[in-house]
Amino acid sequence: MLEKNGIPTHFVRELSERETLVKKVSIVPLEVIVRNIAAGSFSKRYGVAEGLVFDEPVLEFSYKNDALGDPLLNTSHALALKLATPAEIETIKGYALKIDRILQRFWAECGVTLADFKLEFGRTSDGRIILADEISPDTCRLWDSATGEKLDKERHIREECGVFGVFSRATSDVASLAYYGLFALQHRGQESAGIAVNDDGVFTAYCDEGLVNEVFPKERIKQLGTGNIVVGHVRYATTGSDRKRNAQPIIINHHKGRMALAHNGNLTNSYELRNRLEQSGSIFHTTTDSEVIAYIIVQERLRTPSIEEAVYAAMGRIEGAYSLVISSPTKLIAARDPHGFRPLCMGETADGKTVFASESCALDAVGARFVRDIRPGEIVTVSYDGVKCDTRRCGTAGRHLCVFEFVYFARPDSVIDGAAVSSARQRAGAFLAAEHPVEADVVIGVPDSGLDAALGYARASGIPYGIGFTKN
């Protein structure tokens, strides 16, 4: 697309899904940032509200130097440091602005706004300046044109949340159980926390920005009162100013009762579903996929005999990754997408409470024994009538647990789909040692998720394991 529009690039051809042949260049040590809308570091640096649309694109340069932290500089600095000639800088500016126009048109046709992006350029052997960078969501800040929802990597790579739920036959302090469960899942979400207590159909909920212990001091837990069902959620940090609005659980009122929903994952058809819902009169209060799921379930609940049947019908309409914990006035439901992208497990306390959690470490935190993982596609409903499992959607899609659960997201003492996270990371390190042996004096892991992998590498390679990084 760029070459056809007169932008010379280093691309030659794709060799495979993972390999690309490119022209050899000498990288110009100037990173170019093109900004169409104020966001991120620009808003913080200049005190400008995020979302301000510039009359003309803003070009920024940073000096590509890791030791200095890639500082911003102007063209005078670049010339003084002999990073580029005056002619090269003008060529880079011209290409950057032209690429911006091309990309803005492209993304606009997809219903997406290009807020800003980064580029790097290189010199060929004959001295020509060409684009020497990959343009992808990793280098672009993208927003949904209709909703303003963040679509760039800062949103999606951090969209790992934690969900938790308890069903108790007797009225009890289920809010405290949710507190300890969410505290154990804090690594999955540090932006906001929320708890919804259901006391025989009367819902009391509180959500706010912050860590679990900040949002829920003892007084707040007492205010939530007692109940027989609780749903909790922790959300990972994302960009944007709508953090409190996006906190969960989401509470929905409808003429068949109330519903509290906590969700971990991302839908791939959220945009289409949201548009249809809005056209039919739905009013959204957040920018999350979770609210889309909640509205879809409510729609289905109005024409099905039970909440579990509504969840089953909704799963036929939503696509992507989701692990859900849902409270109706009388039932607690856990559901996992047919691919099993996100983890979800079930436990039981000594006094018979049923517990659902994103990871088994949360079961340990509340004294519950691990019963089993929720199967991909399964719906588990807990009520005073007992536990009922719906497996009609199980086996309808291939299993694809997100590998980053084992690499990064999950706590090392958790067990996911029958595999201990700590052992899996050590095995990954051993495989890495076999596939990529090196001569080294010491193997060092980056805390926390890299420690087990480093230990596995050290054991398999015979290279001593050492500590080189510590958290302050």
- Rounded to whole angstroms, how far apart are CA atoms 459 and 67? 32
Mean pLDDT, the chain, whole residue set: 92
Residue 397, pLDDT > 70, answer: yes
Residues 6 or more apart whose Cβ sits within 8 Å of residue 309: 300
339-351 pLDDT tens trace: 999 999 999 999 9
pLDDT band at 228 (very low <50, low <70, confident <90, very high): very high
Distances (CA, A) of 224 to 183, 206, 216, 218, 261: 17, 8, 10, 10, 17
One-letter-per-residue 3-state SS of 77-88: HHHHCCCCCHHH
For the segment 77-105, the average pLDDT, to the nearest whole number, is 95
For the segment 309-313, the average pLDDT, to the nearest whole number, is 98
434, exposed or middle or buried, with CB in 10 Å at 0-12, 13-18, 19+?
Answer: exposed
Residues 6 or more apart whose Cβ sits within 8 Å of residue 113: 36, 37, 107, 142, 143, 144, 145
Active-site annotation holds for 402: no
Verdict on whether the full-model pTM lies above 0.95: no
Provide the 8-state DSSP code for 285.
S
pLDDT band at 14 (very low <50, low <70, confident <90, very high): confident
Query: What phi and psi, each to the nearest 5 degrees, are found at residue 352?
Result: 95, 5
Residue 238 has a pLDDT of 41
Residue 152 has a pLDDT of 53
In terms of phi and psi (left: phi > 0; alpha: psi -120 to 50; beta: otherwise), the region of 93 is: alpha
Residue 135 has a pLDDT of 86
**Joined tokens for residue 167:** 């069903």
Cα of first residue to Cα of last residue in the chain, in angstroms, is 47
Report yes or no: 99 and 91 within 8 Å, Cβ to Cβ. Answer: no
Provide the 8-state DSSP code for 268.
S
- Residue whose pair of structure tokens reads 């379930």 in the numeric block: 297
- Residue 136: count other Cβ atoms within 10 Å of its Cβ: 9
**Joined tokens for residue 188:** 């999955």
Residue 104 has a pLDDT of 94
Q: Which of 309, 173, 194 is nearest to 248 (CA)?
A: 194
Residue 77 has a pLDDT of 95
- Residue 446: count other Cβ atoms within 10 Å of its Cβ: 11
pLDDT band at 239 (very low <50, low <70, confident <90, very high): very low
3-class secondary structure, 455: helix
Residue 399, pLDDT > 80, answer: yes
- Rounded to whole angstroms, how far apart are CA atoms 222 and 375? 35
For the segment 155-159, the average pLDDT, to the nearest whole number, is 47
Provide the 8-state DSSP code for 150.
B
Beta bridge partners of residue 116, listed in sequence order: 35, 141
The dihedral over CA atoms of 99, 102, 107, 109, expressed in degrees to the nearest 10, equals 180
**Joined tokens for residue 364:** 């340990």
Residue 71, pLDDT > 70, answer: yes
Q: Which of 110, 140, 161, 361 is catalytic?
A: 161
In terms of phi and psi (left: phi > 0; alpha: psi -120 to 50; beta: otherwise), the region of 210 is: left
Q: Of residues 378 and 242, which shows the higher confidence score?
A: 378
- Rounded to whole angstroms, how far apart are CA atoms 431 and 171? 50
Residue 153, pLDDT > 60, answer: no
Q: Compute the C-alpha angle 282/285/291, nearest 5°.
A: 70
Residue 304, pLDDT > 90, answer: yes
Name the E strands within 64-111. 72-73
For the segment 267-291, the average pLDDT, to the nearest whole number, is 88
Residue 9 has a pLDDT of 94
